Amino acid sequence: MKERKTNNQILVPTDFSDVARCAVNHAGSVAKAYGNEITLVYVIEESFLGGIFSKGQSAIMKDAISTKLEVRAKEVSEQFGVKVTTRVETGKVYKAIAEIANNEGYDSIIMGSHGASGLEQIVGSNASRTIQYAEVPVVVVKSSDIGKNGYQKIVMPFDLTIESRQKLDWGINVAKKFDSEIHIVYSDSDDEYLDRKMKNNMAVIKNALTKNNVKFTLYEFKDSVFDNFANEIHNYAKIIEADLIVAMTHTEKGIGEMVIGTLTQQLVNKAENIAIMCIYPTETGFNYDY
């Protein structure tokens, strides 16, 4: 896979909530491990700012947020020993976050999400919308802090698409950094040709993991159907106490087409205590030179 030029910084949106605090802690641990810097960003909804406050009041509000961000940045810098900068932006939250990351070469985005249920699941949260727009990896965090040893158990679902295999390089990179164990999960098929093709896929993946000295295990879901594939992945991750799921953002759909959202979006909605790393697929595919 071609190296993407980055500014070596992790973009971390915050609203000072508990969920945002968890995301900042994840970012701190990752930044420390990889030698990244962190940018804390607070995005003020433009409609909210213009509809309630005068220009003078808006300026006061921005100053207050900036001051609070600086305090938080200092805490994070001292805790993790990494450089932390801050910025305040206005606009649509998800668009502002994605545009900053895409246009300024950020390494990744790590952000909190309260999840989605009912109408929110259809409309989408800021996290799920950011995933759709961002062309950099997005790690979505909910209520769980990252462990002191980082991501120790990583679940990676695979299908037969070319894009699905692009995540392998990211998984290997994280696993080597944190000495993680990767759990490869996939579905069986009644179609003999598809089943043989999946087994060939697994052979390539096993070879890559072995070559890179990464601990791994393979698990096959039997008689899986598209409308419970995300549930199976999530339940498996819970059983093994995984702390990270790595998935693609736009292509993976399990056994069939999802009615609402991609597999990744469903995992983001379902996962409560497991971070989800969402990888944007490249147009050129993956160079499988293992």
Q: What are the tens digits of pLDDT across the range 10-28? A: 999 998 888 899 999 999 9
Residue 74 has pLDDT above 50, yes or no: yes
pLDDT per residue as tens digits for the range 99-118: 999 999 999 999 998 754 43
pLDDT at position 89 is 92
Backbone angles phi, psi at 119, to 5 degrees: -60, -35
Q: Are 9-141 and 153-279 the same fold in CATH?
A: yes
Residue 61 has pLDDT above 50, yes or no: yes
Residue with the larger pLDDT of the pair 119 and 266: 266
pLDDT per residue as tens digits for the range 140-182: 998 788 988 999 999 999 887 777 778 899 999 999 999 999 9
Residue with the larger pLDDT of the pair 45 and 31: 31
Closest by CA to 234, choosing from 221, 250, 218, is: 221
Span 225-251, mean pLDDT? 84
CA 140 – CA 276 distance, rounded (Å):
5
The kind and range of the H/E element at 110 are strand 108-112
List the chain domain ranges: 9-141, 153-279
The pLDDT mean for the chain works out to 83
pLDDT at position 49 is 57
pTM of the model: 0.86
**Is the domain defined by 153-279 classed in CATH 3.30.1490.190?**
no
DSSP state of 88: E
Pick the CATH number of 9-141 from 3.40.640.10, 1.10.3720.10, 1.20.1420.20, 3.40.50.620: 3.40.50.620
pLDDT tier at 263 (50, 70, 90 boundaries)?
confident
pLDDT at position 56 is 58
168-192 burial, b at 16+ Cβ within 10 Å, e below that, comes to bbbbbebbeebebbbbbbbbebeee
pLDDT tier at 257 (50, 70, 90 boundaries)?
very low
pLDDT at position 250 is 63
